[in-house]
Amino acid sequence: GGPRKGENVNHPLKVSLEDLYNGKTVKLAINRQVIVGEPTPCRTCDGQGVVVELRQIALGMVQQLQRRCHDCNGLGYRAKMKKERKVLEVHIDKGMRHNQRVTFRGMADEQPNMEAGDVNFIVQEKEHDVFKRKGADLLITKTLSLNEALCGFEWMLTHLDGRQIVIQSRPGEVIKPEGRTGGAGGGMPFVKIVSNEGMPSRGNPFVKGNLYVLFKVEFPEDGEMDEATVAALRKCLPGAPEMDLEYDEEEVEIAHLDHADVKNFGKGGVAASQDAYDSDDDDERGPKAVQCQQS
């Protein structure tokens, strides 16, 4: 039922995360075909949109063929058309998401005897250097020194609306290099949240998601701390061994550690020299780092 409707027109619209956070109105011009005056019924097809052709296929036998009317493109009506430039105000609501659309009903090309289709602007969220978004939640990555991770930290974050937020540890709070272990797969990223500092929800912008902070902890390099520092740390850090290991140096072997890559695990022994030739193939097997940029 109802009148036929013309095709919708979709325009992708790139929108920054800032604009999706704060909301924005963008003025965009479109060109469309509009009808001038009143459409008149097509004389060729008598307003039917189709014409009937009779074809004799044998003596006394006539086939009736129906085909679309070429003069009115099957619309049944003809009209004078003109091109119109139209400026549309596209309202980007706070909290809109990737692929959501802003619709202007009936703003596509007009056609006689037909309802005009819609013009849709489809939000294409741009990548952000600092914030990653999933739903209403945001995520940033923060690298701390071991000192900050153990003894406390604060840093200034500029949010998507320009507010400056000082993110501050609580007394005694410890940031770890990785979260709880996830079975044989190894450690999970260590994340915490700043509650209600994610994206606003569309239609209810006061309800916000959370801001996730994915922490990385940078440990000192070999030899970076002098002996006095190490001695002082040994005294005050928890977990110091209560007594020295007892052994007879004549009977045990002392071993030291060399640098290693877990990708080479299993490649030791005689076969190692053969495997060295195709070691490039295994480059992608290693654990994948989460691709996030530090604020």
**For residues 208 and 238, what is the distance between their CA atoms, to the nearest angstrom?**
39
In three-state secondary structure terms, 227 is helix
Tokens for 278, please give them.
């195709």
Query: Do strands 211-218 and 137-145 pair parallel, antiparallel, or not at all (unpaired)?
Result: parallel
Of 35-43, 181-189, 216-224, 280-288, the segment contacting Zn ion by CB under 5 A is: 35-43
CB of 5 to Zn ion, least distance (A): 19
Q: Which is nearer to Zn ion, 22 or 44 (CB)?
A: 44
d(C-alpha 18, C-alpha 159), whole Å: 9
DSSP three-state, residue 206: strand
Size of the site for Zn ion (CB under 5 A): 6
Q: How many helices (H) and strands (E) does the chain have?
A: 4, 15
For residue 42, state whether it binds Zn ion (rule: CB under 5 A).
yes
Q: Is 79 in the site for Zn ion (CB under 5 A)?
A: no
Exactly one of 15, 17, 20, 72 binds Zn ion (CB under 5 A); that residue is 72
Alpha helices (H) along 138-216:
146-151
71 binds Zn ion (CB under 5 A): yes
Alpha-carbon separation of residue 162 from 22, 142, 158 (angstroms) = 10, 19, 6
Give the binding range for Zn ion (CB under 5 A) out of 44-52, 184-192, 245-253, 270-278: 44-52
Applying CB under 5 A, among 15, 17, 69, 217 the residue interacting with Zn ion is 69
Would you say 41 or 189 has its CB closer to Zn ion?
41
Query: Among residues 23 and 74, whose Cβ is nearest to Zn ion?
Result: 74
Q: Which of 8, 10, 22, 44 binds Zn ion (CB under 5 A)?
A: 44
The residues that touch Zn ion, with contacts defined as CB under 5 A, are 42, 44-45, 69, 71-72
